[in-house]
Amino acid sequence: MNLSTLTVAGMALCALVACDQTLPTIDTDADPSGETSVLQVAPEALRNAQLGYEKASSHPIQERISAYGEITPQADKMASIVSRVSGIVVDIRKQLGESVDEGEVVAVLESQALAEAVMRYLQAESTLEAAKKAFAREKELFGKKLTSAEAYQGAEQALQTAKITHATTRQSLQLLHFEESELHAYLDAPESADLTRFPIRSPLNGVVTNREIHRGEAVAADAPLFKIADLEEVCVHFHVPLESVRYLEKGGLVNVADDSAAQAADATVTFVSPIASESSRTVTVRAALTNTQGHWRPGTPVTVTMKRTAANAAIAIPSDALLDYEGGYVVFVQEREGVFHLREVEPGRRDDAFVEIKSGLREGETVVTTNAFALKALWQSQGA
């Protein structure tokens, strides 16, 4: 019903009703039968008001708890790419917002430090091969008693030293994600090998969310280069009041809504903090939200709605029947056709359609639901 219709209905009610002469005060007696505030509506006005009615009765209440949150990337699906060697940026292959696959090259550095590390490995590899041959020869001679024990032990010691040096130089390159097979390729054709170029690879599938470098820029070891985020699943980060956290558990579902984009979806709770904030008395909660279409952007504010387990209310009425009045809540109880009592009530739990009445109503009493606000307007006008 629009505003103009409400106005006409209200005027019709005011013209065609008779109200008792007492001031419109609300009965606060705990006994619902002790009303002293009565509103009588003439038959024609009653027809025009198009009131709806429902009996107070037992009804399940499915409460909803709302909280404000924000979309963020999943912490375990983000990666910061840093330079592992110092060098000059000679090629950038990925820009902000572009997709990248795990292992794909996103940039290339030219690094003298890399060349020196590779050369050390190549020298260690050659020294190790020579030490192996020398030890094998000394071992054979020592077995034939054609060499001294000192010479044999010296060759053995040289081999052990070569192995340690080789392992050290190899591991330093493995930290740069070089495989030993790649390094052996340098040995096969050392004259054509480019020892200075260092490819920067993505550690995961995702999207480039930050780029810190420019072509020609000098970067130090451990300098930040890129940030990559896998956004096919994002995180919903929100806080709930301490008294409501008991209704949440890991693996449960919450509904996430982005009002600006008119979209909503369910998310799975992945974390409920065991620690509450002392200042706000809230608990941090995170939930995983599928984002394969890319509609949920990190940084977006959202509303998170949680459902409490349905519980049966001994007495409940439709939410439309409950009215605000002078800092409290009231309903209009129908005594008989055209005669209504203004009743103060104490509401309890609520959901989208019903509200629990903790006191002020008895089961089976009939309350006004549809257009109850029109009776309230009439009551207030008669009491003015």
Class in CATH terms, 81-229: mainly beta
CA atoms in the 13 A half-sphere facing the CB of 149: 0
* pTM, full prediction: 0.59
Residue 110 contacts residue 196 (beta carbons within 8 Å): yes
Q: Report the pLDDT value the prediction gives residue 190, as an integer from 0 to 100.
A: 62
Specify the pLDDT at position 14.
47
Regions in the chain scoring below 50 on pLDDT: 1-36, 384
| 35 beta partners | none
What fold is seen in the domain 65-76+231-307?
A: Elongation Factor Tu (Ef-tu); domain 3 (2.40.30)
What does residue 302 show for φ and ψ, rounded to 5 degrees?
-140, 165
Find out whether 257 and 239 touch, Cβ atoms under 8 Å: no
pLDDT value of residue 193:
66
Q: Which two tokens stand for residue 300?
A: 């977006």
Q: What is the pLDDT of residues 151-206, one digit of tens each?
A: 999 999 999 999 999 999 988 888 887 776 667 666 666 666 677 888 999 999 99
Q: Is 34 helix (H, G, I), strand (E, B) or coil?
A: coil
pLDDT given at position 25: 36
Rg (CA), the chain: 39
Q: Which of 239, 331, 314 is nearest to 279 (CA)?
A: 239
- What are the extents of the domains in the chain? 3-63+311-383, 65-76+231-307, 81-229
pLDDT at site 45:
79
**How many Cβ atoms from other residues are within 10 Å of residue 64's Cβ?**
12
Which pLDDT value is given to residue 172?
Answer: 85
CB-CB contact of 296 with 266 (8 Å) = no
Give the integer Cα–Cα distance in Å for 331 and 284. Answer: 38
Spatial separation of the C-alpha atoms in residues 322 and 3, rounded to whole Å = 20
What whole-number distance in Å separates Cα of residue 245 and Cα of residue 273?
Answer: 9
Give one DSSP letter per residue of 207-256, joined into a string.
Answer: EEEEE---TT-EE-TT-EEEEEE--SEEEEEEEEEGGGGGG--TT-EEEE
Return the DSSP state at 38.
E
CATH 1.25.40.10 describes domain 3-63+311-383: no
Residues 6+ apart with CB under 8 A from 312: 58, 59, 60, 61
Alpha carbon distance, N-terminus to C-terminus of the chain: 25
For 273, the token pair is: 């903090």
Residue with tokens 């740069």: 176
276-304: b (≥16 Cβ within 10 Å) or e: beeeeebbbbbbbbebeeeebebebebeb
Looking only at the bridges linking them, the beta strands covering 354-359 and 53-55 are unpaired
